[in-house]
Structure 1
Amino acid sequence: MVSCKRRPVFRFFCVLLFVLVLWLPQPTLALKKPNKVIIAYVTSWTSVTPDPTYITHVNYAFGHVNDSFNGVKVDNPDRLQALVALKKEHPHLNVLLSIGGWGSGRFSEMARSAVSREEFAKDCLRIVEQFKLDGIDIDWEYPTSSVGGISSSPADTENFTLLMCAIRKAIGKEKLLTLASVANGKYIDFGDIVHTIDFVNIMTYDSGNPPYHHASLYRSPLSGGTTCEEAVAAHVNAGMPIEKLVLGIPFYGRGNKKEVKNFIDYKDLLKLEGFEKKWDDEAKANYMINKDGEFVLTYETPESIAFKCVYVRDQGLLGAMYWEYAGDTSEGILRQAVYNGIMK
């Protein structure tokens, strides 16, 4: 308590402090940009070690729902441990286990029961603690659909929400909980999980095969089913804030199966001969044609990635992710393009 005799002096300093606060330049909080993320999917069946310089997160692919529908099994756990070890010299790096993937089933059976959801969620916590992970990424492709050759149920969407809530409760608020979502934004009730998850990785690729682009940024006559711009709009309309969305970028191309195989890593497609490189300026997308002028390959380059990164920044998305790290060249042509576009 300030004594009566010292109050005039005290008031003088209070007034002086108030004037200084008004005079000094104030930070404009609204202009502060959130930290961006760059997420690389790293697979269990490849051996290349990712360079943490160019990424903020590693999503390790994959873990799976176990045969008893109540826990997690991890592919090649030694590789996951090696990735976590990168954090010793790169403390900024986050490593998550991605559970699921194309053709990875047993989600529907596990999620339909409150008991098995709780047991699975507790096992997610066990995995996080055992491997010292930063979180869990759920890649259930796709609730209510058996297109990947897995079981499904009309109740999957509702059960997906309950599952994410159970995992969040189990691993706590300090760990990351993310998910991969199909480009069209279907199958998941984003409005119900918006406060449960940290962000959504949109799989903005595989939307078409030659003679159409599979990952075009904007719509053109050559675009496939869903463009990147349309995918973002679909997720926002479904209830997910744009600042929680991460744009997917493929480090592979899709061919016509006759002259170019259906999936071809970027590092391998650079070796192709006898094709002409083309640029669709409307879609901001690359493709190749054969000697007869036929569209035979849809793929990414640093040029198309640069446009996507500008889009991410201008529209206020959280960042970019790519599938998958090993598809890039050894010198990192594509990952450097993503890093420079998002971070610089």
Structure 2
Amino acid sequence: MSPQPRRARGTLRGRFRTSLRSRAAVLIAVLALPLAVLTGLNAGAAQAAGKLTATFSVQDNGSWWKGTYVVHNGGTAAVTGWQLEFDLPPGVTINGNYYGDATVTGSHVSVKNAYYNGTIAAGGSTDPFSYWFVGNGPAGTPGHCTVNGDKCDGTPDVPPTAPGTPRATTVTAHSISLGWSAAAGGDYPVAGYEVVSGGTTVASTTATSATLTGLTPATAYTYAVRAKDKRGNLGPASAPVTVTTVDPASDPTPPTAPGTLRSTGKTSATVALAWNASTDNVGVAAYDVYRNGTLATTVAGTATAATVDGLSPATAYTFTVKARDAADNSSPASNTVDVTTDDIAGAGKNLRVGYFVQWGIYGRQYFVKNLDTSGSAAKLDVINYAFENIDPVNLTCMAGVTKGTTANPQDPDQGTGAGDADADYARPMSASQSVNGVADDGWAKLRGNFNQIKLLKAKYPHLKVVVSLGGWTYSKFFSDAAATEASRQKFVKSCVDTWIKGDLPVYNGAGGPGTGAGVFDGIDVDWEWPGSPDGHAGNHYNVNDKQNLTLLLAEFRKQLDATGGQRKLLTAFTPADPVKVNQGWDLSKIFDSLDVANIQGYDFHGAGSDNSWEPNRAGHQANLYTDTQDPYPTHFSIDDAVKIYTDAGVNPRKLTIGFPFYGRGWQAVADGGAHGEWQSANGAAPGQFAEEAGTRGYQNLLSSVPNLTVYHDAQSVSTYGYTGAGGQWWTFDDAWSIGQKTAYLKSKHLLGAMIWEMSGDTPNGALMTALDNGLK
């Protein structure tokens, strides 16, 4: 974050939070200056209403030919920014592009202006710096040329033709199903159809069929259909058809119950069902499939199979089916069938989740590339990108700002309005910082960590990346955003638009609609902590947070599912403290929406940079079992935390436990004959960074704390290091404790492991390797 980061986690008792990097403010300022200067070269006049056209010419050079597009501005104001799209003639390939940033996908070419020819004056053109390419194959004019979305020749769009006259395929008392023959595209392909009645659009579809529901029995309805192309051009309406819904009085006899309902397959998000057909005195019109007593899907009467989607992983569901005739008489229910969906890791496998911190590229000098070079990317399944903030005024997902946190971890406004668009998507990465070894040119719309994430995902197609919202310093406004149905819908929509659809705010020449699409595969909710006063100083909370969190997660699930395509992940960081669970997490309901809960497995004890937590006694931060020597009145352990969830009936295949790739330390720790365990101390030990006392990454801990002797507590399964009487005492995980914990989670059939956070590991990924080996 610029200039300071938000450290990982809230503590169990909520007394500590730290992590500042004031020195990074200077670095951000230095980095931002040259980019601002460069961006200014392309600022020119603002985007105006000038009309752009483009003309194409060919120059034959024998063994190759030159194809040139000259972009013209026929308007009365300058236009800044242009983009060409065209399709190459059959048999033509391109092996060189000039005066434009070109992307070639098959035969389709997309060209964005270069920084020096992006502004076209009124009445001017791109000459003498017009885009051109080297063509191989038969010279010819490309097809389907557009400039800024309009046809290159400036002529109006030709809309689609009229579809065929619609016909009724199924008619019931309350519904009419229509089908029609496809329309032909004009200048652009047909993207969908609108069903119109009385001049009003009553349905939209991308198919050549639609079902109108909620109709009145024994009533005549008239419909026509018109096509819409991908540019939004509407074609003429088809001839109309008039259909009368069924009169229920004409058929009082219901169908028989469907027989032998059974599951024929399942995934982590779907269940396939089949059944034996019902009979009816007139005919079965449809089958209604119910999930846990609620209508899930409807299929045509001739079909005796259905797939129910939008399900949660590792979750038990009960299904029944009823037949329905045209008079909407419903049959008795079929037999019930119980099905538990698969988990997202797969049978016999475990999930590996690792947090990558946005601000790691500064003081830690840990880049997305390091996930690759350390070998960790090949072993991880999910990367959580931490953290993004909530706009304090609009209560929406916030992006497009670079504003640091304040220096005081107890400042109630420490994270208010903070964020780091520069690190996210505007900072050009050098070749040495890039996954593919190629430096950013500084002009692309997507740079920084986000572009590197896309490069990493291209290299490791199995990887999923989710954006983590909140964290310790950015959870202040969750309660407000979740407070009402309207605020939840607004907040979630903004998050989906920004992080999933990729509509990033323009910042330093980067960003824009859709520029971040494909970076993230889901959303991770790190609300620390709902309903609890133990969050960061100044956090908003109230007694309704528990219910509102459940509703917020349901809204996230609904809107993520509505984006279509591959199921988007919805995960959460959840507490190990039973008090915090009871205050904010309804374990009986939240897993209807959540795919994974990452349970806090660390920060059980610590001193903290401001010594506001537990400065006077050293203790284990990530013990697997309760240490019988623990002198505190309340004891914490990973095993106790897991039991909170499994005792509440949560499927263990929805749970991961957290592993720290860092240590927490104290200074002036007495020996007490126990190598410093639970002994008196005098505050936090010096940290990896001056402003982060009491915390060091694993690699830094081993390399920078002299005379550290490592011990293993077999009873509690804890690793710790001690420099001797009156010295430093550190609690952390190593290969030994990781091996013990991974064996435990496999014995409990848990889904897997979560890591906070990846930069703490050694350059060759020693801890990640230990964890991976333990989960095999």
TM-score normalised over the length of structure 1: 0.86
Partner secondary structure for residue 205 of structure 1: coil
Q: 1:146-157 to 2 correspondence within 5 Å?
A: 146-147=533-534, 148-149=536-537, 150-157=539-546
Q: Could you tell me how far 1:81 is from its partner in structure 2?
A: 3.3
Q: 1:224-303 to 2 correspondence within 5 Å?
A: 225-256=635-666, 257-260=683-686, 261-271=693-703, 272-292=705-725, 296-303=729-736
Which residue does the alignment assign to 1:72?
397
Q: Which has the larger radius of gyration?
A: 2
| In the alignment, structure 1 residue 178 sits paired with structure 2 residue 610 | no
CA RMSD of aligned residues (A): 2.0
Q: Could you tell me how far 1:221 is from its partner in structure 2?
A: 2.7
* Structure 2 unaligned spans of 5+: 1-341, 362-366, 400-419, 426-448, 503-515, 607-616, 667-682, 687-692
Distance change >3 Å, CA 235–CA 124, structure 1 → 2: same
Q: Which letter maps to 2:501?
A: E
Partner secondary structure for residue 570 of structure 2: strand
Which residue does the alignment assign to 1:136?
523
Q: Could you tell me how far 1:192 is from its partner in structure 2?
A: 1.1
Matched-pair contact (CA < 8 Å) for 1:70–1:117: no
| In the alignment, structure 1 residue 204 sits paired with structure 2 residue 204 | no
Provide the rounded CA distance (Å) in 1 between the counterparts of 2:711 and 2:486. 54
Question: Deviations 1:171-196 (Å, cap 9, x if unpaired)?
Answer: 11811100001112512112111211
Q: Which letter maps to 1:215?
A: A
Provide the rounded CA distance (Å) in 1 between the counterparts of 2:684 and 2:461. 46
Provide the rounded CA distance (Å) in 2 between the counterparts of 1:169 and 1:226. 35
Q: Could you tell me how far 1:240 is from its partner in structure 2?
A: 2.1
> Identity over the aligned pairs, expressed in percent?
31
Which residue does the alignment assign to 1:5?
none
Q: Could you tell me how far 1:277 is from its partner in structure 2?
A: 1.8
Distance change >3 Å, CA 234–CA 293, structure 1 → 2: farther
Matched-pair contact (CA < 8 Å) for 2:576–2:638: yes
Which residue does the alignment assign to 2:379?
54
Which structure has more relative contact order (CA 8 Å, sep 6+)? It is: 1
Q: Which stretch shifts more, 211-220 or 285-294? A: 285-294
Question: Deviations 1:271-307 (Å, cap 9, x if unpaired)?
Answer: 2113322110101111122422777211110110011
Among candidates 134, 138, 145, match of residue 532 of structure 2: 145
Q: Which stretch shifts more, 185-194 or 150-159? A: 185-194
TM-score normalised over the length of structure 2: 0.39
Provide the rounded CA distance (Å) in 2 between the counterparts of 1:222 and 1:241. 32
Moved over 3 A (4+): 222-225, 257-261
Structure with the largest fraction of strand: 2
Q: Could you tell me how far 1:216 is from its partner in structure 2?
A: 0.5
Q: Which stretch shifts more, 173-182 or 52-61? A: 173-182
Distance change >3 Å, CA 237–CA 84, structure 1 → 2: farther
Distance change >3 Å, CA 294–CA 111, structure 1 → 2: same
Question: Deviations 1:179-238 (Å, cap 9, x if unpaired)?
Answer: 001112512112111211101001110011352111001122355731111110012223
Q: Which letter maps to 1:44?
A: Q
Among candidates 169, 193, 211, match of residue 590 of structure 2: 193
Provide the rounded CA distance (Å) in 2 between the counterparts of 1:77 and 1:176. 20
Distance change >3 Å, CA 222–CA 253, structure 1 → 2: farther
Q: Which letter maps to 1:41?
A: Y
Partner secondary structure for residue 598 of structure 2: strand
Q: Which stretch shifts more, 43-52 or 219-228? A: 219-228
Name the count of aligned residue pairs.
313
Among candidates 86, 91, 95, match of residue 461 of structure 2: 91
* Structure 1 unaligned spans of 5+: 1-28
| In the alignment, structure 1 residue 169 sits paired with structure 2 residue 540 | no
Q: Could you tell me how far 1:266 is from its partner in structure 2?
A: 0.5
Among candidates 492, 500, 512, match of residue 121 of structure 1: 492
Provide the rounded CA distance (Å) in 2 between the counterparts of 1:129 and 1:327. 31
Matched-pair contact (CA < 8 Å) for 2:478–2:527: yes
Provide the rounded CA distance (Å) in 2 between the counterparts of 1:326 and 1:136. 21
Provide the rounded CA distance (Å) in 2 between the counterparts of 1:331 and 1:222. 35
Structure with the largest fraction of helix: 1
Which residue does the alignment assign to 1:221?
628
Provide the rounded CA distance (Å) in 1 between the counterparts of 2:684 and 2:573. 30
